[in-house]
Amino acid sequence: MANGVASIHSLEHGETFHPVVGPVAEAEALYVRQLRLPRRMREGDEEFVIWDVGLGAAANVLTMLKAAEDIPGKLRIISFDHTLAPLDFGLRHAHELGYFEGFEDVQKDFLRNHHVTFQNGQQRVEWELRLGDFPQYINGAGAETLPKPHAILFDAFSAATNPAMWTQPLFARIFKLLGPNRPCALPTYSRSTMLRVSLLLAGFYVGVGHATGEKEETTIAANSMTLIEEPLGRNWLARAHRSTSAEPLWQPVYRQAEMSLETWQKLGRHPQFGQRTTASKGQC
């Protein structure tokens, strides 16, 4: 990249992992700081659970582990991806990427066995992999047995190239699997209106996420408003109402469309916006 930081480019999807600022800077901004991970781990007295949706070359997880190594306790990470090719490639280029330092043996073990338990400073870590199609897995019976997460690192390829990972039913299923008494936040790099509407309809509270790279803002969703620093307000709702790309993807086929009347009415009933929206489509 132009700033001299190495990253990985996917030829299949035509996208670069963590573009512009590089993998570590993006992971720190988007996940570590925004999720308040070190503080939340320190304040908790139970095993802290993270779902890592889009393992890729493991930059998000390894950056988080380095930030949390001085925090006593237990950490459980469940990574999801349909391929280990990026991780294998990353390990073979660990020197250029840099962030693997200190975790080379752990990653080799993880790559080989899809499960590893190790000591990370003062922290005991259990890291496991669910290899395969994420939407298919998350909609299956096996997902019901997953430990309820405190945080979800959502880092799939974009909706334009990987629409199955950005449908409204998928986010609704994720929300349903959360623990009602366990606050959980899900940040992601996208700021699209379509995504935010999908998350709101799924049941999440949604806010403006931290800037990263060339993105002035990203998106963060949570099942508790306490984890949202800057919630979307009614001004955003009005802009979404006028957007030409606001209707969620109901099927894994990418397209852009204006918000339907049904979607608009459902959004207006979301508790985040404080009152019922009665205006019909086109009157806002």
pLDDT attached to residue 282: 43
Angstrom CA distances, 258 to 102, 254, 279, stand at 48, 14, 16
Query: What is the strand order of the sheet 218-222 is part of?
Result: 115-120, 123-131, 73-81, 48-53, 151-154, 185-188, 218-222, 205-209
Give the pLDDT confidence of 39-98 residue by residue, as tens digits. 899 898 899 999 999 999 999 999 999 999 999 999 999 999 999 999 998 899 888 888
Residue with tokens 């408003």: 225
pLDDT attached to residue 23: 81
User: How distant is the alpha carbon of residue 20 from its chain centre?
Assistant: 19
Cα radius of gyration (the chain):
19
Q: What is the pTM of this model?
A: 0.89
pLDDT tens-digit profile, the chain (284 residues): 333 333 443 344 444 444 444 788 888 989 998 999 888 998 988 999 999 999 999 999 999 999 999 999 999 999 999 999 999 988 998 888 888 999 999 999 999 999 999 999 999 999 999 999 999 999 999 999 999 999 999 999 999 999 999 999 999 999 999 999 999 999 999 999 999 999 999 999 999 998 887 778 999 999 999 999 999 999 999 999 999 999 999 999 999 999 999 999 999 999 999 754 443 444 33
User: How distant is the alpha carbon of residue 150 from its chain centre?
Assistant: 12
Angstrom CA distances, 190 to 63, 104, 127, 215, 217, stand at 20, 30, 26, 9, 8
Give the pLDDT confidence of 34-56 residue by residue, as tens digits. 999 888 998 988 999 999 999 99
Angstrom CA distances, 250 to 50, 83, 100, 189, 254, stand at 26, 25, 38, 21, 10
Hey, what domains does the chain have and what are their CATH numbers? Answer: 9-166 (3.40.50.150)
